[in-house]
Amino acid sequence: MKIIVTGAGGLLGHDVWSVFEPRHTLVALGRTQPPYVATAQWRSCDLTDAARTYSVVTKENPDMIVHCAAYNNVDGAETDLEAAFQGNAMTNRNLALACQRFDTILLSISTDTVFDGENPPESGYREFDSPNPINHYAESKLWGEMFVKQLLNKFYIVRTSWLFGPARPTWVDQLVKLCQEEKPIYALKDMVSAPTYTPDLAEGLLQLAESHHFGTYHLTNSGFCSRVELAEEVLRIHRKSGYRHLKALEQKELNLPAPRPRFSGLQNLAWTLDGFKSLRSWKEALADHFSKSKVLS
């Protein structure tokens, strides 16, 4: 297939590019060309510009778009609502409108935080449980989902959570640095979800993209944990169990601008019903990440 990848220079887009490229013809679309994308495969485009997006996409006439680009500043969205909705809702609409012309498939990445965390199913939220965003970031992501569903027949919406991977340092890598510098680590005990390794997620997205089993999916590494439990596992891997500067807090103590769901774990139900193999546990993925990372001392 000929596939356009948006956000190819980002945390997930980096791994989508490396996983998809051996099997498909790829074109990267966005504002800044990643160093590993050849000039012949690069198309400059501001995805918030509807006319430009339509022009570039229809000229390429791809079989599929994998939309990894997003506005990810959860707290920033509380004060810059327009940027969040432009980056997460309108980009989905603009791509969907372009997809209509040649019946192009759109695979769009969404988030666990579309759920409010109140009275969740014990095994995690299922694909058709009712979303109820409690912050502007999650609301903008849900709007993006709705645009895709309303405008297209052939689409994948993939909700995932707590991404970490090799493309850039994330919270788990920052923990190691703080530990090495003997600085305090603040982690929330009332925020639970599934840490997800971007190389594993990208492999899953490739399987999904090649299946043509359209619809809404949840896709994460297996198992749930709190931010405290995630921090403890990072410290255990680095032989720093019992780190005295690890402080377990509740959200109200941090006074974050955007509230987060207390529990937003996703049950990968549609994925397993379709016969796909569950992704490995988040603990295995985390150990793999650090075994390949320069962060590991």
Nearby residues of 104 by Cβ (< 8 Å), 6 or more positions away: 57, 61, 62, 63, 64, 65, 98, 154
- Average pLDDT on 105-115 reads 98
Q: What is the DSSP letter of 39?
A: G
184 pLDDT more than 60: yes
Give the pLDDT confidence score for residue 200 in this predicted structure: 98
- Average pLDDT on 235-254 reads 94
Cα dist from 48 to 92, 103, 154, whole Å = 9, 21, 22
- Mean pLDDT, rounded, of the chain: 96
140 pLDDT more than 70: yes
CB-based contact 197:288 (threshold 8 Å): yes
User: Within 10 A of 163 (CB to CB), how many other CB atoms are there?
Assistant: 21
296 pLDDT more than 90: no
Which two structure tokens, joined as six digits, stand for 38? Answer: 């050849």
190 pLDDT more than 50: yes
- Average pLDDT on 57-63 reads 97
114 pLDDT more than 90: yes
Give the pLDDT confidence score for residue 293 in this predicted structure: 59
297 pLDDT band, cuts 50/70/90, is: very low
- Average pLDDT on 234-260 reads 94
Give the pLDDT confidence score for residue 131 in this predicted structure: 98
3 pLDDT more than 50: yes
SS3 content of the chain, % helix, strand, coil (to 5): 40, 20, 40
CB-based contact 132:71 (threshold 8 Å): no
294 pLDDT band, cuts 50/70/90, is: low
135 pLDDT more than 80: yes
Q: What is the pLDDT of residues 193-218, one digit of tens each?
A: 999 999 999 999 999 999 999 999 99
Q: What is the pLDDT of residues 28-58, one digit of tens each?
A: 999 999 999 999 999 999 999 999 999 999 9
Q: CA 143 to CA 70: how far, in whole Å? A: 13
User: Within 10 A of 25 (CB to CB), how many other CB atoms are there?
Assistant: 12
Cα dist from 160 to 1, 68, 94, 126, whole Å = 24, 12, 22, 12
Give the pLDDT confidence score for residue 295 in this predicted structure: 38
Residue with tokens 């599934």: 194
Q: In the CATH scheme, what is the homologous superfamily, with its name and number, of domain 2-161+197-221+265-279?
A: NAD(P)-binding Rossmann-like Domain (3.40.50.720)
| End-to-end Cα, the chain, rounded Å | 41
167 pLDDT more than 50: yes
